Amino acid sequence: MAKPLVTLEVGNDGVAVISMSNPPVNALAVPIILGLNEKFLEATRRDDVQAIVLTGKNGRFSGGFDISVMQKVHRTGDASIIPDVSVDLVVNAIEDCKKPVVAAVEGLALGGGLELAMGCHARVVAPKTQLGLPELTLGVIPGFGGTQRLPRLVGLSKAVEMMLSSKPIMSEEGKKLGLVDVIVPSQELLKVSRQWALEIKERRKPWVRSLHSTDKLNSLSESHELLKAARQHAKKTAPNMPQHLACLDVIEEGIVHGGYNGVLKEAKVFKELVASDTCKGLIHVFFAQRTTSKVPNVTDLGLKPRKVTKVAVIGGGLMGSGIATALLLSNTYVILKEINSEYLLKGIKMIEANVHSLVKRGKLAGDKADKVLSMLNGALDYAELRDVDMVIEAVIENVPLKQKIFSEIEKICSPHCILATNTSTIDLNLVGEKTSAQDRIIGAHFFSPAHIMPLLEIVRTDKTSPQAILDLMAIGKSMQKVPVVVGNCTGFAVNRTFFPYNQGAHILVNLGVDLFRIDRVIANFGLPMGPFQLQDLAGYGVALAVGKEFANAFPDRTFKSPLVELLIKSGRNGKNNGKGYYIYEKGSKPKPDPSVMPIIEESRRLTNLMPDGKPINITDQEIVEMILFPIVNEACRVLDEGVVVRASDLDIASVLGMSFPSYRGGIVFWADMVGPKHVYTSLKKWSTIYGNFYKPSNFLEERALKGMSLSAPISSSASRSRM
């Protein structure tokens, strides 16, 4: 028989201990909530129960509401499967219970878990316990009374900060704020909680119903001002996310009309937000990230990752030093290999600067910096790489150079050493062409800056062994990266999918659209910056080199704009020399540079795209679509060719590698929300006017005409698969 999810045990002292058990984090699944309702009702009715303690098993209280319930709502459209926890369980069964209820909290109490604990009459908490309400990161608001109780327990200002930032606090801070009544060692948690509950019963400890407390609330006018400032901040920092403003509205409802009215409004708004596109997108990304760790014919073979303790990084430039930094932070010994002592010293200094920057920003404890850097050694000779478990080559994008490096390290390194390249576009078969170790050749494509960006694109060829892939996945996770396994082609999954991004923007500029307007529109859509500011930041050399790779690989669908070459001729190189599309001055934000206009006019004259020499008339939405729909089109080809295992892998890669807004769910998910038919008909229309760059792919056409979603499972036909 399956063990019960919720148990009730009554001790000789008359205290009923109600325990939740749903490993690993005691998520509040519907059966848990029903079990809690049942056990509280039983404890309330029983004459031998004087007081109640609510706790979680497995060293955790609760990680919150079971998110898969919201995923099920999105699949079925049925919001009635979400139980009314805030009123039925937290208010009536717990807070209004005639017997005192104490929460015995350990490990974590997040989201609905913390809300359950706040509904109790006291909280006895173990040290180093995480407490927080992270619901806004999933597109909803706290839905079990958290918007009402947290302000009453810690004060409005701190409550707003905790909810809007979604950052948890530790129990020690919770004690200072009044969220925690007492901190006790884990081994004494239940004993003290039982005593506390009995002392409340005997009126020796306060019986606090937090929904009715008002002593920590500001005056109405102060609350109004505080919430007004929070709304202004939310509009700036989260302009496309309705849950932030909704949360503040619900908090205000409770302050003005009382906690119970606030709880009723909270439950209503929570259900409305669950049905929003923002919630759908964020929940999709949440599960997409977790699904990346399942790779057919790799993670299902019963293999175990081998231990990797020492890695060599070849090349100490921007990427190499970033990769080395990420490895050092994961407690891995690193040998940085360079061609001469000058370059080696420069690479080591960049790694030191990366580490000290993390200390300065509070991301790394100061006393750990020296230990991290002590694990770094430099080398000028391949002989020093004999005992490494993995090599990551991070030199310039030059095929003969990479081939030479791999044929040399194959002779030196052990036969088990993984041979990885950080190339962003070059075919891996070319890189490993001159070695006999092709089962160990693998792509480890990091995104810049490598010690900060969370995506690791793991590129496999037809010959790469499952063991090498599994090992690199484990290394990526130890580096706090999200590894996504992809197939081998020009640009792999992410850069290949997004290569039309700049080209679409350049078509619009050459059609007469103001480039600064394009940047504004794309930033308003949710990307960190527009395509032209991004080009300034990356440098024009990168734009030309990458553009050339894709023009060679996909000549039938590339647009060659003369604009970047004209900028270089005029002495501009973006942020590198302070002059690009924008002016870059120290201490101030980039400003549009009006002197770039004659160069743009020259580009327009050379491309001759404008009908009758007049700029096209275009809406902001059309700007977004003419830039992003070609990316969707290329994503369809990537799916069709089996470059990724599943569409959600491309979604999470677009969010983590290209900063596509997470609340839009990733590039394929967003296209499905917009509608494949609209994407297809728009591209078809533009292709008749502007040519092959916009020509819809067969995959998109097929799905659009059949009314299928783009993310529906891909045919497993061998002819389509490169995986």
Mean pLDDT, all residues of the chain = 94
The CB-based long-range contact list for 69-77 (8 Å cut-off, 24+ gap) reads: 69/29, 69/30, 70/138, 70/140, 70/274, 70/279, 70/283, 71/283, 71/287, 73/274, 73/275, 74/279, 74/280, 74/283, 74/284
* Residue in 511, 518, 660 with CA at minimum distance from that of residue 581: 518
| Omega prior to 24 cis, within 30 of 0 | yes
Return the percentage of the chain with pLDDT > 70, whole number.
98
Distance from C-alpha of 236 to C-alpha of 224, rounded to nearest angstrom: 19
pLDDT in tens, 261-284: 999 999 999 999 999 999 999 999
The secondary structure of the chain in percent helix, strand, coil, rounded to multiples of 5, reads 55, 10, 35
Contacts of 411 (CB under 8 A, 6+ apart): none
Looking only at the bridges linking them, the beta strands covering 130-132 and 108-110 are: parallel
Mean pLDDT of 74-90: 87
Torsion angles phi and psi, residue 691, rounded to 5: 100, -170
Q: Which run of H or E residues covers position 421? A: strand 418-421
d(CA 165, CA 179): 18
The torsion region of residue 60 among left (phi > 0), alpha (psi -120 to 50) and beta comes to: beta
pLDDT tens, residue by residue, 303-362: 999 999 999 999 999 999 999 999 999 999 999 999 999 999 999 999 999 999 999 999
Whether 193 contacts 53, CB under 8 Å: yes
Catalogue the long-range contacts made by 74-82 (C-beta closer than 8 Å, 24 or more residues apart).
74/279, 74/280, 74/283, 74/284, 79/271, 79/274, 79/275, 81/30, 82/143, 82/270, 82/271, 82/274
What pLDDT digit, counting tens, does each position of 670-700 carry?
999 999 999 999 999 999 999 999 999 999 9
Token pair belonging to 477: 């996770």
Q: Please state the φ and ψ torsions of residue 431, each to the nearest 5 degrees.
A: -60, -45
Query: Model confidence over 143-155: pLDDT tens digits?
Result: 999 999 999 999 9
pLDDT > 70? residue 407: yes
Structural tokens at position 212 = 């009715």
pLDDT of residue 1: 56
The residue with tokens 């201490």 is 587
Catalytically annotated residues = 115, 135
- What is the C-alpha radius of gyration for the chain, rounded to an integer number of angstroms? 29
Predicted confidence band of residue 207 (pLDDT cuts 50, 70, 90): very high
Order of strands, sheet of 169-170, starting from the edge strand that comes earlier in the sequence: 108-110, 130-132, 169-170
Name the pLDDT band for 2 (thresholds 50, 70, 90): low
**Statement: residue 721 has pLDDT above 60:** no
Instruction: Answer yes or no: pTM beyond 0.75.
Output: yes
pLDDT grade for 399, boundaries at 50, 70 and 90: confident
Q: What 3-state DSSP class applies to 192? A: helix
Q: Which residues pair with 130 in a beta bridge?
A: 108, 170
Distance of CA 123 to the CA centre of its chain: 32
CA angle 220, 225, 226 (to 5 degrees): 95
Rounded to the nearest 10 degrees, how much is the dihedral formed by the CA atoms of 452, 586, 317, 562?
Answer: 100
Residue 200: C-alpha distances to residues 120, 333, 459 (Å): 12, 55, 61
CA 216/CA 158 separation, integer angstroms: 11
Separation of alpha carbons 160 and 247, rounded Å: 9
Strand partners for 123? 103
Q: How far is CA 283 from the centre of its chain?
A: 11
| pLDDT (0 to 100) of residue 713 | 85
Asked if the model's pLDDT at residue 43 lies above 90, the reply is yes
Asked if 441 and 433 count as a contact pair (C-beta separation under 8 A), the reply is: no
In sequence order, what are the beta bridge partners of 165? none
- Residue-level pLDDT at 366: 85
